[in-house]
Structure 1
Amino acid sequence: MSVAGERIPEGVDVRLPSAARVYDWLLGGSHNFDADRAVGEKVMAVLPSGRQVAASNRAFLRRAVRYMITQGITQFLDLGSGIPTVGNVHEVAQNADPGCRVVYVDYDEVAVAHSRLILEGNPNATVVAADLCRPRAVLTSPDVQTMLDFSRPIGLLMVAVFHFVPDDLRPREIVADYRAALPPGSLVALSHLTADHAPRAMAAVTEAMKNSRDPMYFRPYAEVVALFDGLQLVGPGVVSAPLWHPEPGIRDIEPDDVYAGVARKT
């Protein structure tokens, strides 16, 4: 099946917007469809900084991966990875060390399909079709068990995903399950959208996304910090994403609507 030349996995209803594809559109990617673009336009109408927020999340992901590599980590588990656009984990990690291993996890069929296409011929990266809210299913996946060595530190990435997880699924418990499986020395990177600074605009974003496959749940600072319970935050702690280890020489950095941090399992 295809839409305007785009290959679509069987059974995927492209009329239902997906967060992965809306995010791809905000990042300037091409793996999105009319329904996704319509939601993206609604987001931009109420949050004109939407593209900058998406770019900020992606930039944090890149910096977090680079930081983890400086700490000796060479294997990564990226939860809710979305569609592999420029600057994804395997590109950043394997540019620094071709031996780095990466497992992407997403439940969006289109994101998984595109990931498989882009990772063809890469023996050190794979994608698992699974729901990050079911840690046991993710962690016992044959691909995860084959690709990652749980006797050595792992870089766990949960970037821009938990604002799609409702409270009734207990986000803190989900993080705790992954934390328990990680060996000591592992690092966890997490970012999360918030309504702390622009409550009206973010309420409008929630409204724009409520009928999509992935409604959004913004959380205040204290709740984002609580997701790191049981881990040791590295400096500067949980901060606005652009303020976390900014690129050298960057000045006059403006905070945005994303909280981000990296923490170590001791």
Structure 2
Amino acid sequence: MKLEEFINENLLYGRALIDLQVSKKGSNPLWTGFVSTNQGEFPAYIKKCRHLDGLCVEIISSLLGLMLNIPIPKPILVLVEPNHPQIFVNEPTFLFGSQMYDMPSFERFLIDCQLSDECILDYSDLHSIVAFDELIANSDRNNSNILYDGESYRFIDHEKAFLQSQDPRLPINEMDKIGNISDIVQHYKGENDVYIHKLMTKIKKTINDEMWATNCELLIQKTKNNQLLSDYNTILDRVRNFLIARQSVLAVLIEDAITPPQHPQQLDLIGGSNV
């Protein structure tokens, strides 16, 4: 599929319908209900992002993940008018929307089934989501930002990716981190050299075969040409530069994240490893 076709298929444009419900999930103002989009009506989550660049980061992260075959709900650029009965805005405003699925959070699933989060290690594409979260420096893949119904996973909420305070060549800042799947891997399997070797083999293949900076750059450039996102050009340039810099040390960062801290790889800040 050509890049333009991919974006047209996966980035939805919509208008918030009435009779939305206020949701208590998450820390952002959040509503659930139907959105009328260019591809029909969809049940969706609609949220006000906390940060000025949150809308753009959410859209870019979602599209990038979908391009890498990560199961992420389609992002929706949702227009809200000033007279909307549930969402109060002073002027026509774009909010971030996400296609809604009838799935509990991973956190709720674990409680209901009395399981530990170790069960996510059985996920067949574990290597892909670990690599993706490290690529975008997602500091908030806690169990509430994973949907799971016992069969399928969906990964949501990427507003904390690409933080301006994050050096793209360094590990995710522990002060920003709320929870990551790499932490689960480290806790249960970090000292299992055979497991880590096999997982890293898959991760390195994913990085080499799919996570080319040039592909990321093409996606961002195409989104940058979107007139509705024209105010975010500076942010898009920052994201582009971040991805290019981070890819050069990505495998080392991931291995450090999933292994115990007493045996870390040593990063060469010029862009490689000194091991």
Q: TM-score, normalised by structure 1?
A: 0.31
Q: TM-score, normalised by structure 2?
A: 0.30
Higher RCO (CA 8 Å, separation ≥ 6 residues): 1
**Which has the higher Rg, Structure 1 or Structure 2?**
2
